[in-house]
A and B are shown apart, each in its own frame.
Chain A
Amino acid sequence: MNKLQHCLLAALAVGFSSLAFAQVDDGRSDAEQLKIAAIEALMSAPVERSLPIVERVLRGDDSDEIKERALFVLSQIDQQEAQDLLVELARSGSPGLRQEAVRMIGISGNPGAMALLKDVYRDGDQDMRAAVLEAYLIADNAEDVLALAEEATTPEEFDKAVEALGAMGATEQLRALRGHKGTSESLIEAYAIAGDVESLRELALDDSDPKRQAEALRGLAIADDDDANQIFVEIYRSTDKQELKEAALEAMLIADYDDGVLELFRSSNDPAEKRELLQTLVHMDSNAVWDIIDSTLEDD
């Protein structure tokens, strides 16, 4: 072992046993700072050394901040004993540390530990459920999140699971959900976040539900689908529903499709509508607006 490792392990031993360090006003004592540095050094120590030390920290009286650092080191130890300890800590202890242990299970990705998360979710409160969803997101485990969405007993629970699927880009699972549960606002948002422009286009062109159609238009703009620009113009022109016109205009604003707004402005004969379209072009900081203003003032 080299000199640096000797120094770090000595610091670790001193930090864990000493109570004589002075407190400082930055909220973290010298002893705590030393401990955190020593825990970081464990990342390069052999497992047979680091695991017992990490376990001692986690079962001891150190602050939650110190224990969180130790949990991260634990997540990087690929031994069954380490995974068992993570699962144990996910089930007992302070809520904050339990949630952190769940996060670490996601980081470690150990299949056995991951399989237990659905029980943790079922028995947990809102914060613990959010931690489990985050662990699934970290482990890129879309199928388990789909299962949670399908088994959701409240709209909020469903929305959270759907949101996680959107963040994971889990298009296949989101489409499966639509088949089982129908289309909700949260699902459309998730399509937008996941970039599923095919599903969004289908919904945007389906005029059986104007509210859903409006959401799909906004979703298409967020998903940044270049081919959707003409859909926005087409829907604006073809609908007589004010809510849909506004949604189509808002979509063009989000997508920065000033050519579309300009096209509508030029073809409109309604002064109120022209004013609104001109205002939209100003908000978009479109270069075309200055020509319009010029020619409008010249006509006067």
Chain B
Amino acid sequence: MNDDKLLLYYYADELSRDERRQIEAELAANPGLRARYDALQHELDGMRDMEAVKAPEHMVARWHDSIDRAATLERQQSAPAGRSFHFASFAWGSALAATLVLGIGIGFYFSGTEVPHAPVEPGPATANVVDVTPSGDASSPFTRGLQLHFQQASQGIGGMSADSSAEREMLIMHIIQQNRLFVREAKENNSPELARVLRAFEPILARLAADSTTPEEAAKLQAKLAFELNAMLTKMNQPPSNSSESI
């Protein structure tokens, strides 16, 4: 039973009734699992008291303006048979934003908690690859949170329409905000290499959000960013190297 399942159980989210019953049965039968869940529950309960990070006012003002413009445009246009406003993608974007906030919040809270894992020693074959795992610990909560951020940002960027829209701008602004939070976390986790990569994404995201960017330029920027996010995921997901596995 991994922490992801326990998290979903805690938040009563995305689990079927059968899955919940199964987890409840395992918690009742397995004292070690129960202890793990209790510890997680205690930490997540503590997070509720944390103050939410307030978005800068000028960004909120921009979001409001974008929403107003989109609403005005929608009122002015007659609805065609195939509506251009994709409710599914908007709902997905909102869910993505909420999941990103959850991932960041967990990463923030756990970054102050000592996780008793043995450090991963890089093998000789990867000795010259920049180690982007904070303090060499591939399974730390910060690393897991960051992997989730890369994964979901990549999916969000990949699924975004190249045409300018209020929902697209909101998603980009949210990714920028989460990115900045992870930059701070990367510095606190002694991982300047990761901080640089994360900072490198922001100018691309800003150009994606700019009104002056054409759909063609936006498609290229999306492809570039998606590649870089996926490349970082590939790097972070690689197992500890073993010289017997190298070519």
A interface residues with partner B (beta carbon < 8 Å): 1-2, 5, 9, 36, 40-41, 43-49, 65, 68-69, 72-73, 76-79, 103, 106-109, 134, 137-140, 221-222, 224, 254-256
How many A-B residue pairs have C-beta atoms within 8 angstroms? Tell me. 88
B126–A107 contact, CB under 8 A? Answer: no
Q: Give which listed residue, A2, A43, A108, contacts B231 with CB less than 8 A.
A: A43
Closest-CB distance, B81 to chain A (whole angstroms) = 26
Cβ of A48: which chain B residues have Cβ within 8 Å of it?
125
B227–A72 contact, CB under 8 A? Answer: yes
Cβ of B199: which chain A residues have Cβ within 8 Å of it?
137-138, 140
B interface residues with partner A (beta carbon < 8 Å): 56-58, 61, 125-130, 132, 192-193, 195-197, 199-200, 203, 220, 223-224, 227-228, 230-232, 234-235, 237-238, 241, 245-247
Mind listing 22 A-B residue pairs with CB under 8 Å?
A40-B230, A40-B231, A43-B232, A43-B234, A45-B247, A47-B126, A47-B128, A69-B227, A78-B129, A79-B128, A107-B200, A108-B130, A108-B196, A109-B193, A109-B196, A140-B195, A140-B196, A140-B199, A221-B57, A222-B57, A254-B58, A255-B57
Cβ of A49: which chain B residues have Cβ within 8 Å of it?
246-247
Bound-complex Cα distance A255 to B61 (A) = 10
Q: Give which listed residue, A44, A78, A134, A256, contacts B57 with CB less than 8 A.
A: A256
Bound-complex Cα distance A137 to B200 (A) = 8
B245–A107 contact, CB under 8 A? Answer: no
B200–A106 contact, CB under 8 A? Answer: yes
Q: Which secondary structure dominates chain A's binding surface?
A: helix
Knowing that A46-B126, A254-B61 are A-B contacts, what are 9 other residue pairs whose CB atoms are under 8 Å apart, sorted by A's residue number? A40-B231, A43-B231, A44-B237, A49-B247, A72-B231, A76-B132, A106-B196, A138-B199, A140-B196
Closest-CB distance, A47 to chain B (whole angstroms) = 4
Q: Give which listed residue, A41, A109, A140, A221, contacts B234 with CB less than 8 A.
A: A41
Closest-CB distance, B148 to chain A (whole angstroms) = 18
Q: A46-B241, A222-B58 are contacts. A77–B129 as well, Cβ < 8 Å?
A: yes
B56–A224 contact, CB under 8 A? Answer: yes
Bound-complex Cα distance A137 to B198 (A) = 11
Closest-CB distance, A97 to chain B (whole angstroms) = 13
Bound-complex Cα distance A138 to B238 (A) = 25
A254–B126 contact, CB under 8 A? Answer: no
Cβ of B246: which chain A residues have Cβ within 8 Å of it?
1, 46, 49
